[in-house]
Amino acid sequence: MASLLQVSALLALFSLATATPVPAENKSEPCAFNLPTSYAALGDSFAAGLGSGFPVDDDIECQRQNGSYPSQLFELNPFNGNPSSFDFVACSGDELDDVDAQVVKLAYKKFDLITLTISGNDFGFGDIAEACVYQTLSPNVTDPQQVCNAAFAIGEAQVADKAIWDKFDQKLSLVKSTSLNKGGRIFVTGYAKFFATPIEGDACDSISFFPIPQLAALNMTAANRRRANALTVAVNHGIKRSVAKSGSNAQFVDFDKLYEGRRFCEAKNADDPIGANNPNILFNDLTTVLPVPGVADVAKQTPGLKVDITNVLQQSSVFHPKIGAHRILAAELNFRILLDSVIPRSGRSRTQKVAISDVDFKDPSTRCTTTIEKEEIQRRAMAETAGVTQEVLKEKITQSLGAVHVEIEDMSGGCGQAYSAIIVSSLFEKKTTLARHRLVNTALKAEVAAIHAWTPKCYTPEQWEKLVAEGKVAVAPGKETNGEVVSGTTA
């Protein structure tokens, strides 16, 4: 998956091209983009963004929040419309049967883009969290694990119930037929597994997620985690099947793959396996300090914590994505919208898609066909990105990441300022490609947000030395100094 800021930068590039006016006397073909102009977000608490930010309206029950992936996606602005073209009707606690009411709230309007996350409540996700993760001791319960097993059994039976999946098919069909424009697209997300691959005897095996150990009924055992993950996988398979049957204008979005390495109970986080306030863990826990309700008044704080675990919103936000998780999903959707929005130039059907790789950032003629358009786009793009240079990027990378080698190539063209980079730093040790990109993009947040395309390639010193030794990269002679900007190329 393209890194977050790379995706955002690409989006800015395409949005700029699309928004550029074409003079009336110009009869040539305009830039070839077909971005959505209206957006509706439907679904449950995962779509509403419970636990991700601040409320966007007065609907206390639905808890639509500004950290949600729909809100962040709209703020990324892949649309030609305005705020009135965004209808956010997802509602915390909603099930499949509530989709009809959400469609009614849309007043039977039609939209170019719809996102949908639904069915988690139909399969008892919340009940399982209550029974297996946060269950407390009770004099009326002699075997807490049996309570947990019962919750799992209900969820598993529901996943196996064909009637529920038939209902999913029906609700998806309803949304499409009632609310989706002809030629529009709908993205249906799955859910993410809550736990890293369970290992018997790992750090989570002997602890409880309930923050007062004396009251905790169950430890977060590997067996329970394994069962929870399996249920999520089964739900995702079902959603994917329904979407596949729905037609080419519906796409399944694998929410789960975006969470790799950032779940509860990651082996690398043995010192803090829950990671309630670790930004690299993407789920909220009962002790996570949320934007709302935030740090509790001292008199209401649970002993040893900064929050009040009796607060209803604090409780209902558990096992929901943090704002960072929603940001990643918004970027994934953003990227897919871009791929679907590029349309060919003359000689091909406007519905025939073109790969992003066919768009040459150095050659605006692949997108825009008139000199007037090219000059206007270039003028606007460069006006917005003044001050971000190779030297600025080099200095920031060297200082922030301790880079031992930096190569930056200026890829700027008619549609804006673009750079590719090779960065070698020991900070990339033991990090995935996505984690490395996040590290770079965090360090360069302001700079990358100001330009239109940014493609970093990140290596550890050992990886880079191996590439050089094998002749797989070409480095300009005499430019192997620390942090030097060169215009080398990769083989």
- The CATH architecture that domain 386-490 belongs to is 2-Layer Sandwich (3.30)
Q: Which residues contact 309 (CB under 8 A, 6 or more apart)?
A: 211, 286, 287, 302, 315
pLDDT tens for residues 204-246? 999 999 999 999 999 999 999 999 999 999 999 999 999 999 9
Q: How confident is the model at residue 342 (pLDDT cuts 50, 70, 90)?
A: low
Q: Read out DSSP for 293-308?
A: S-SPPGGGSPTTSSS-
Where are the domains positioned within the chain? 34-340, 386-490
In the predicted model, is pLDDT for residue 361 greater than 50? no
Looking at every residue in the chain, the average pLDDT score rounds to 81
Average pLDDT for residues 130-147, to the nearest whole number? Answer: 97
Distances (CA, A) of 275 to 268, 272, 279, 289, 416: 11, 5, 8, 11, 40
Give 379 or 447, the one with higher predicted confidence. 447
The answer to whether the predicted template modeling score (pTM) of the entire model surpasses 0.85 is no
Percent of the chain, pLDDT > 90?
A: 58
Interval 429-442: pLDDT, tens: 988 887 888 888 88
Measure CA 112 to chain center: 20
CATH superfamily of 34-340: SGNH hydrolase (3.40.50.1110)
pLDDT at 190 over 90: yes
pLDDT confidence of 313, banded at 50, 70, 90?
A: very high
Identify whether the C-beta of residue 287 lies closer than 8 Å to the C-beta of residue 307. yes
| 364 against 178, higher pLDDT | 178
* Whether residue 125 has pLDDT greater than 70: yes
| Token pair listed for 394 | 């080099």
Total residue count of the chain as it appears in this document: 491
